[in-house]
Amino acid sequence: MTAVLEARSLDAGYGAGSTVVRSLDLEVHEGEIVALLGPNGAGKTTTLNTLCGELAPLGGDVVLHGRTVTGPLHERARLGLGLVAEERAVLTSMSVTDNLRVTRADPDRAFALFPELQAHARRQVGLLSGGQQQMLALAIALSRPTTVLLADELSLGLAPLIVDRLLRALRDAADSGVAVLLVEQHIAKAMAVADRAYVMRRGQIEVSGTATELRGRLVEIQESYLEAHPTTISNGSAPA
Ligand code: ATP
């Protein structure tokens, strides 16, 4: 399988003296979902922000389609990288259709991915539910020429059924060839759609493996969460 996105010996953080991620190696291949798991503060978002170009690496390389990239997010977007971040990347004062237009997303593809958005095409996005806004953010990312998608906590604050819907759309995207790196607090849900996973702790990869292998170690993995954040995981779900 082809590695679409790689971190090679990546150090990341917020300037000298505040290195958060150390010597991180990871790969995301065409057509797979890779879950990046870990307790709060492990460095998942810092990793994603460095992979997408929002943060400059403090060491090592980010490699996209076999080439080291150093430019900002918009340059990486032109190379096929898409990002759906914790804060929903939609323009709330505009309609759904205008959001698709200004982001150069393909509306037919977007509405095919999320037919439930069609009825709201002319509505101001700020009036949509959180779940609908997140569907739109994902629809935008997936209806552009995206070859690798970074998804950071796209389920944050959303109802389980909506989370399932979003994760299913990610699975479909991966099945059609997109490489997906997924940061997700709902471990069980993430592991249900992932092909592989990395578990981070204190800025380093502590465990990695195929989803099949790691599903058998979910309790151990969840315990690593429990240690750092006692209320997050008891049954694979985040607290309401
Ligand atoms: P969570 O699951 O809580 O989002 P995370 O694994 O994504 O956690 P990060 O958000 O990457 O972790 O944070 C890793 C560390 O970096 C934390 O100690 C955090 O306080 C620190 N950090 C995050 N953002 C900044 C910033 N802008 N400036 C300085 N330190 C930061």
DSSP string, 77-140: HHTTEEEE-SS--S-TTSBHHHHHHHTT--HHHHHHH-GGGGGGTTSBGGGS-HHHHHHHHHHH
* Total domains, the chain: 2
Q: State whether 45 and 139 are in the same domain.
A: no
Candidate of 14, 18, 20, 224 to mutate for ligand 1, largest count of ligand atoms within 8 Å of Cβ: 20
Q: 86 CA to middle of ligand 1, Å?
A: 13
Residue 240 domain-assigned (yes or no): no
Protein residue whose Cα sits closest to atom 25 of ligand 1: 14
Residue 16, judged by CB atoms within 10 A of its CB (0-12, 13-18, 19+), counts as exposed
Element of type H or E holding 50: helix 44-52
Q: State whether 154 and 224 are in the same domain.
A: yes
| Model pLDDT, residue 224 | 66
| Model pLDDT, residue 212 | 93
Q: 228 CA to middle of ligand 1, Å?
A: 14
Pocket of ligand 1 (CB under 6 A): 14, 18, 20, 38, 40-46
Residue 198 domain-assigned (yes or no): yes
| Model pLDDT, residue 1 | 67
Q: Across the 240 residues of the chain, what is the mean pLDDT of every consecutive 10-residue run?
A: 92 91 97 94 95 96 97 94 83 94 94 95 95 94 95 90 95 97 91 95 93 88 60 35
Strands (DSSP E) contained in the chain are: 3-13, 19-29, 33-37, 59-64, 67-68, 81-84, 148-152, 179-183, 196-201, 204-210
Protein residue whose Cα sits closest to atom 19 of ligand 1: 41
- Where residue 37 sits, what CATH number does that domain have? 3.40.50.300
Q: State whether 153 and 227 are in the same domain.
A: yes
Residue 44 domain-assigned (yes or no): yes
Tokens of 102: 């200004």
| Model pLDDT, residue 239 | 34
Determine the distance from the C-alpha atom of residue 74 to the mean position of all C-alpha atoms in its chain, rounded to a whole number.
Answer: 17
Tokens of 60: 């090592």
pTM: 0.90
What's the domain range around 200?
A: 3-80+146-235
In angstroms, rounded to a whole number, what is the distance separating the alpha carbons of residues 217 and 207? 10
Element of type H or E holding 227: helix 218-228
Residue 237, judged by CB atoms within 10 A of its CB (0-12, 13-18, 19+), counts as middle
Ligand 1, closest atom to CA 38?
Answer: 6
* Cα pseudo-dihedral 95, 149, 47, 36, rounded to 10: 110
In angstroms, rounded to a whole number, what is the distance separating the alpha carbons of residues 149 and 211? 19
Q: State whether 150 and 221 are in the same domain.
A: yes
Give the position of tokens 């101001």: 124
